[in-house]
Amino acid sequence: MSALRPTRPVWAAIVAIPVLFVVIAALQVRIDAVMRSAVNQREELLLQSGNTLRKLSLGYESLLADIYWTRAVQYYGERLGVEDANYELLAPLLDITTTLDPRLIVAYRFGSVFLSERGRAGPGRTDLAVALVKKGIAANPNEWRLYFDLGFLYYWRLKDYPAASTAYLAGSKVPGAPPWMKLVAARIAEKGGSFDISRTIWAELYETTKDPHLRKKALQQLQGLKAAEDEAELNKLAGQYRDRFGHDPASAKELREAGLLAGIPVDPAGFPYVFGADGKSHLSPESPIVEVKP
């Protein structure tokens, strides 16, 4: 009969499994309580150290990381669109998540977006977003998409073009990285911000992201960039019109009648551009497009 008795490792596993689920349940209850609390949130976040949680996870770090990642998404989602929302716990939740599972790439990628969004869409903490992505790169040096995210933050959020170029160049050297990474790095180094570079970056984000909110935002940015580029070209033609006739054009129709346009240009939503008293082109007041700068 003694041969049928479980060995000590087996007994340890049997005992550890219910203990693990008790720990997970306790963590879920505690985290939920923290999320509901509007007072002393920082002090009440149980086990703020990801390293401490790793020691208590009994080898189930990935499972706990998934729980914390879910909580981070919920935490962000509950505040999205709320004026002056408090995102104080977002960075700690993401830090714990990625300490528990350093290979959870989605937490770095989407977490950095959450942190860098501004106004009603997020806390506007690009500095924390950069730190999170750098943490991801240190743990996953062969994940070229993290270099893309870092370059995106430097380029779009911080307008730090040398740093953006360096990030894209570093990413281009990772096995499996697309050839355009090196091209974008060189063009940023040469030109800084420009329509074509911005369009390339947002188009890549639009094509690769699986998040519907981020995909919608990328499309809006691409449409806004197209409108801004159209307006820049129309303003050049308006300058030529002014030099020829001595006054500003009142509409795109006058540019067409002067032979400067082949037709009446419209924005990505299908609305014709208008000209203001300043002689510059603008989006129609009826257009849903929001112009953005490169």
Query: Regarding predicted confidence, which is higher, 149 or 11?
Result: 149
- Structure confidence by residue, pLDDT tens digits, 242-275: 999 999 999 999 999 999 999 999 999 999 999 9
What mean pLDDT value characterizes the chain? 83
pLDDT digits (tens, 9 = 90+) for 128-146: 999 999 999 999 999 999 9
pLDDT at residue 46, rounded to an integer:
46
**Domain regions of the chain by residue span:** 23-33+44-138, 141-193, 221-282
User: How far is it, in rounded angstroms, from Cα 165 to Cα 176?
Assistant: 19
Least confident of 56-65, 67-76, 171-180: 56-65
pLDDT at 150: 97
The rounded percent of the chain whose pLDDT value lies above 90 is 54
Query: Can you tell me the mean pLDDT for 16-40?
Result: 53
Give the Cα separation of 62 and 250 in Å (integer). Answer: 63
Q: Out of 109-118, 202-211, 259-268, which region has the weakest mean confidence (pLDDT)?
A: 202-211
DSSP-derived letter for residue 118 is -
**Strand, helix or coil at 266?**
strand
Can you give the pLDDT at residue 4? 45
Least confident segment among 104-118, 126-140, 214-228: 214-228
CA distance 268 to 271: 8
- Looking at the predicted structure, is the pLDDT value of residue 104 above 60? yes
**Contact partners, residue 204, CB within 8 Å, separation at least 6:** 148, 180
pLDDT of residue 179: 87
Which pLDDT score is estimated for 132? 98
- CA nearest to 125, candidates 82, 88, 77: 88
User: What is the C-alpha radius of gyration for the chain, rounded to an integer number of angstroms?
Assistant: 26
